[in-house]
Every structure is written in structure tokens, then in C-alpha cells.
Amino acid sequence: MRSPSLIFALIVALPATAQQPAITPTEELRTSVREWVETMRKIQQEENDWSRDQQVLQNYKEGLDREIADLKQQIADARNRKEGADSESLDQSAERDRLAAAKDELSAVVRRLEESLSAQLPALPAPLLAEPKVAQGVEDLNQALALPENKRNEGVSKRLMNVINLLTEAEKFQQTVHLRPELHKNADGREFNMQVIYFGLACAFAVNEDGSFSLAGRPAADGWKFQERKDLASDIQKLIAATTGDADAAFINLPISKP
């Protein structure tokens, strides 16, 4: 604002001008003062308006600057996320490829194990194959071997566990002597109830109740083969009696032929 002393000084300094006859000096001075005051008021008003508008514009500019900075940060963050997502996507894709390759390799290994185990099934004696757990495992094994080539990657983990379970059962049978009742025929086709003692998966001996018919068995490529051995009947009876506890333990010599 212009101070009153400045306005008064300006009024005092006004030069004397020629006066119209109808206007007195006092009236002319008053008119000039009013015009000057009005002019100064308008100037002050314009300055005030400009100052206010300038502050508004400054605030608006600062707001825009902050918004621009925020947008730049969001763009940078979005770019980083995209680059991270692209990298993660590539990593995931590579991991999927590695897993797919590993699954294919595992499937091929399981297939070879299944084929090898299937070829060895004839070496398992009948009582072992008749056990429910083993019988189910053999059925599952045959189903797996029947899968078409485009489905051999299916159920790999389950099939591998089936192979392991069958081998475990075979190993358990291998480590123990087993006595089983079985039916066997002689050369004439006559059938006898016999006690068969298996020494794991290596060999077996069998004899009927009165000792008139005895056998020695060995695994072969197409299954177990039993041959009549009448000369072993007495020793096999002693072996079975010792196994069941009906007789004291004793050393009994029985021949074991090569497969």
C-alpha cells in the first residue's frame, strides 16, 4: 500500500495549471486527488490480485511437480516389476523345462526297472507271489508295462514305489527260511500234499507226509522247477522236523545244484 504521507506529498507537488473560469483551484485539486487516489487503489488492487494469483500458481506448480515426481517413480517401479516379472518368468520357464526333463529321465529309469523286475518275476516262488501285497504289486506292474508310450510319464512316483515295494518283499523272503504247504504232482500225474521248505530265493525241498515222495526245487528262467528226489526224503523230513521244532536242531546235508 502507498502511505498517506506519499499521497499528500504528491498533492503538494502538483504544479499550478490554468484554470477554467468555472472551476476553482480547490475543486480542481480535489478532483485530481480523487483520481490519483482511485488510480493508486486500482494499482494496489492489481498488485494484490497478482500476488495472490502468483501464490496460487506457485502452489499449483509445486503440486504438479510432486505429481510428476510420483508418476516418474511409479513408472520406474512398474519397469522394475516388469523386468523382475520377466526374469522370474524366464526362471520359472527354465525350471519347468528342467523338471520336465527330469521327469522324462525318471520315467525312463522307472520303465527300465519295471522291465527288469518283470523279467525276474519267475524267480519268485509261488508262495511269495501268492501273498496279497505282492500279488497286487505284480498286477500294478503289469498294468504299468502295458501303458502306451505317450502315457509312460504318468504315475511315475507311484510306479517307482511299487517297484521298490516288490523288491523289498523279495528281499525279506530271501533272508528267511519259509515252510509252506503245497500241492505237487509226480511223474504219473498223481497229486500230493507236501511240506515245502524254501531257503530264500535259492532253493527248496519238499516231502509228503509218509516220505514216499520228495522233491528238490530251483528257480529257472520260466519259473521254479521241482525234480523228484526219492533219495532225499528222509533228510528232508528231518529238516522239516527241526524247522518246526518237532526235533532237535541238527546238521543235515542236502545237495544244492547250480541253477
Cβ neighbors of 236 (< 8 A, separation 6 or more) are 197, 205, 206, 207, 214, 254
Q: What is the mean pLDDT of residues 152-178?
A: 92
Q: What are phi and psi for residue 153, nearest 5 degrees?
A: -90, 0
Least confident range of 3-7, 35-39, 111-115, 129-133 = 3-7
pLDDT digits (tens, 9 = 90+) for 89-118: 666 777 787 877 878 888 889 999 999 999
Residue 21 pLDDT: 55
Residue 133 pLDDT: 95
- Name the DSSP class of 148: -
Tell me what the pLDDT averaged over the chain comes to: 83
Residue 10 — very low, low, confident or very high, per pLDDT cuts 50/70/90? very low
Domain boundaries, the chain: 24-77, 116-175, 177-259
Residue 24 pLDDT: 80
Q: Record the pTM.
A: 0.61
Q: CB of 177 within 8 A of CB of 197? A: yes
Q: What percent of the chain has pLDDT over 70?
A: 86
Q: Does the pLDDT at position 4 exceed 80?
A: no
Q: Does the pLDDT at position 12 exceed 50?
A: no
259: helix, strand or coil:
coil
